[in-house]
Amino acid sequence: MSAVRQTAPTADDLLGLAEACLARLPAHMQAAASNVRLIVQDYADDALLDELGIGDPLELSGLYSGVPVTDESVTSPSIETPLVFLFRMPILFEWAERGDVTVDELVAHVVIHEYGHHFGWSDEDMDRLLAEE
């Protein structure tokens, strides 16, 4: 008999799920993603939500901040560390509302989508990788 989780996944739990998702990527993608800092917060801050024109903090489950590798060049490299944010409460809210997806699957979806922005992937590229997940 397996144990039933009695509490919502913590930020550390989501970070672990995200890191496990990244570990399943092909080696060349893992190498290209190794410089991206992964951060889990409960919600996006108000300033970011205002900047993006988002009124409800539950509408933003993840965000990429940085220069996509497809836009970098040797002559003008990015000096800022690229960041991927996962917002815990919106992810958990969607997980609870949907009921048709595991939290692992939902975190993987958000991770692939946000890292996809880093790689400069199209929506079709992201959908294909998620289908393989």
Q: What pLDDT, in 10s, does the model give residues 22-71?
A: 999 889 888 888 889 999 999 999 999 999 999 999 999 999 998 877 76
Give the domains, in start order, of the chain with CATH numbers: 11-69+79-132 (3.30.2010.20)
CA distance 88 to 11: 6
The pTM assigned to this predicted structure is 0.83
Q: What pLDDT, in 10s, does the model give residues 73-120?
A: 555 666 688 999 999 999 999 999 998 999 999 999 999 999 988 888
Beta-carbon contacts of residue 122 (< 8 Å; ≥ 6 apart): none
Kind and range of the H or E element at 86? strand 83-87
Longest dimension (CA), the chain: 58
